[in-house]
Amino acid sequence: MSPAAASASSTSRSWSPKQYLLVALAGTLVAAVIVVAVSAVLSPAAISFSVVNATHVYTREPRGMLLSFTILAVNPGWRAGVNYTSFGVDLVYTSSNRSEWGTTERVLPSTYSSMTRKGTQLPIEQRPRNSTYIMALLFIGDDDWTKYMANGKEKTTPMSVQVRATVRFLVWRVKTRSYHIAVLCHLNLTLFTNAVVSYDNNHTAPCVDAGLISSHPSD
């Protein structure tokens, strides 16, 4: 046997069971640290949304109410970017009775038209630790607007905006699976106070996590 082989054999024989156990534990700890690190990178941070600006105008061709919402999307994650593959809004109304606010939400029927295509063009990518403004348009036909909001009901009916988004998170140029997001932004009676309504730090319209108020076809 060569001197080197003899030395290696002698070293392995000199190890005690305690040393083998310590080496095994060290290997397990390293593996656990790697798993935790990878999980931290691949676990996407929650995106927060808020309404920054809202406008409405009644159009004659086609006849109906056109609403525009500027949504601020904040990605607080420091590793993962966000790829938005779909983004849409719905106008949600509830009972005009203050004691029932938020308990009887209904989605106001909307129509996809050429005007609603003028919002932010998708897909878009948002960098980590970034705030991005997304504009979404909504058109409600004259028949539906008259049916649900006739006689000035839009000024006495609490309103909310339902934001729907489908996103993929980007980690080192690798995309995660798709995530479907639904949040509700409570505007209450502010939406139709003026043709243009701006929400700032003193007049905010933050959005809260919520399931879809009603089923909606995928974008």
pLDDT tens by residue, 36-83: 334 434 445 678 898 999 999 998 888 999 999 999 999 988 888 999
Considering only CA atoms, which of 170, 176, 165 is closest in space to residue 207? 165
The structure tokens listed for 25 are: 């534990």
Specify the residue for token string 């504009």: 135
Q: Which of 39-43, 66-70, 96-100, 137-141 has the lowest mean pLDDT?
A: 39-43
Give dist(CA 39, CA 61) in Å, integer. Answer: 52
Q: What is the DSSP letter of 11?
A: H
Which segments of the chain are extended strands (E)?
48-60, 63-75, 81-93, 106-107, 124-126, 130-141, 159-171, 174-188, 196-198, 207-209
The pLDDT of residue 215: 44
pTM: 0.73
SS3 of residue 68 by DSSP: strand
Contact, 65 vs 145, CB < 8 A?
yes
Q: What does the pLDDT read at residue 176?
A: 84
Task: Categorize the per-residue pLDDT at 13 as very low, low, confident or very high, splitting at 50, 70 and 90.
Answer: low
Ordered by start, the domain boundaries in the chain are 3-41, 47-209
Per-residue pLDDT, 69:
94
Residue type, 18: K
CATH of domain 47-209: 2.60.40
Are 92 and 70 contacting, i.e. CB atoms less than 8 angstroms apart?
A: no
Q: What is the largest CA-CA distance in the chain?
A: 102
pLDDT, position 203: 58
